[in-house]
Structure 1
Amino acid sequence: MQNSEIELKFPVPDPEALQTRLSQLGFHLVTPRTFEHNTLYDTPNRDLRARKQILRLRKYGTLCTVTHKRLPDQQDPVDTTRYKIRVETETIVAECEAMAEIFKQMGYLPAFIYEKYRTEWSHSAGLDPNTLAHLVIDETPIGTYAELEGPTAWIDQTLAALNIDPATCLTDSYGKLFLDWKQRTASPAEHLTFAEITSPVLSLR
């Protein structure tokens, strides 16, 4: 499946309070807290990174997916300084290990690993039935973040309903957040995993 995703992150100092508020606003729990393990693949020369693309294998509970993300082909009318926009092609695969071996034989090797516990909520009020709009809460080793994905108007309305200051919102990937955290903390960790980061902070802000 291919789609254009529009998303925005914001730090979450109190996940329980946020989830209580989501229930009050009519959000529905889609997936309870589930461990997620992600591996980004690239060539030794980081060719995909240079083209601002990613190739990812994700283990989400018992589900395995392979995802490719890239920039839109043409100038998008959405403000890319406020929202993160990518063309995403994703599908379920039967065996992550077999897919990883295929990548290896094609010259793509693990470049970055990141882990989190994700809880997913959905909201459909006032939206076209075919429109994707959801909020996920990601508990990472360096802090907890919420990620909104949907139409820009819905994202803005949800931020306002949650009393989230737009100035605290982020378009950075978890890889970029990890690199910024490493620079601030001088951590020797190479990957954003719970095993490598033993003293997680609550927030980046």
Structure 2
Amino acid sequence: MQYIEIEKKFALPDPAALKAKLEQLGAKPSEPTRQVDAYYNAPHRDFLAPEAISEWLRIRTEDRGSSINFKRWHPVDALIKTHADEYETKIDDVEAIRRLLEALDFRPLVTVDKTREEYKLPDIEVVFDHVVDAGDFVEFEFKADAANVDDATEQLEQFIASLNIELGEPINRGYPHILLGREH
């Protein structure tokens, strides 16, 4: 399942109980890090045109390095997505990549400025995000082997249920959607 992301996201009004539960399970928090994610639109295909946005191109800058990432969410035409193809790699010169994209007529869409804290368990990564102008969220990402997307999703949902922690509402859209005022 390399290059496939399976995650569940929730609004999180109070992260304390969930953090305590994760620590009971042996997860240690990372140092919080600020991530600034610049999203771009493609000149050959408007990512915002469909009713349900299914593609994002992002450059992330943070203290521990920069990366470029492309995601295509599936099912492409569905309003609620189940998983994403994800292609991400580190970049050494973020300004060169920005200039390269602009030279190819990619245009900035939105910037997501967030502080992230990560908790890692053997099969699941849990991240707490505080997103400027959007609020607090938690993402659970499946990191183990699975037979297919459905199997990975089922394992992830079982883990979340086993925590027996009340979470906020499920969020079926990305931070750029939220900041752009898009429902899908």
Which TM-score tier does this pair reach, normalised by the shorter chain? Answer: 0.7 to 0.9
Q: TM (normalized to structure 1)?
A: 0.71
- In 1, the alpha carbon distance for the partners of 2:45 and 2:154 equals 35
Q: Measure how far apart 1:66 and its partner are.
A: 0.2
Which structure 2 residues correspond to residues 42-121 of structure 1 after superposition, within 5 A? 42-43=41-42, 47-50=46-49, 52-72=54-74, 84-121=82-119
5+ residue gaps in structure 1?
128-132, 182-205
Contact 1:8 1:83 (C-alpha < 8 Å) held by counterparts: no
Residue ranges of structure 2 left out of the alignment (5+ in a row): 143-151
- CA deviation string 1:95-114 (max 9, x = no partner): 11111000011111211111
Comparing 105-114 with 80-89, which one deviates more in the overlay? 80-89
8 Å CA contact 1:42–1:110 kept in 2: the answer is yes
**Corresponding letter in the other structure for 1:176:** H
Matches within 5 A, 1:94-173: 94-124=92-122, 127=123, 133-141=124-132, 142-150=134-142, 151-164=152-165, 168-173=169-174
Q: Which amino acid aligns with 2:141?
A: E
Write the distance in 2 (CA, Å) between the matches of 1:144 and 1:71: 22
| Cα deviation, residue 26, structure 1 | 2.8
Q: Which residue of 2 aligns with 1:12?
A: 12
Name segments (4+ residues, structure 1) moved above 4 Å.
Answer: 80-83, 164-167
RMSD between superposed Cα atoms in Å: 2.8
Aligned-partner Cα distance in 2 for 1:43–1:123: 36
Deviation per residue, 1:107-137 (Å, 9 max, x gap): 112111111100111111xx5xxxxx31100
Counterpart of 1:55, as a letter, is L
Aligned residues: 168
- 2:35 corresponding residue in structure 1: 36
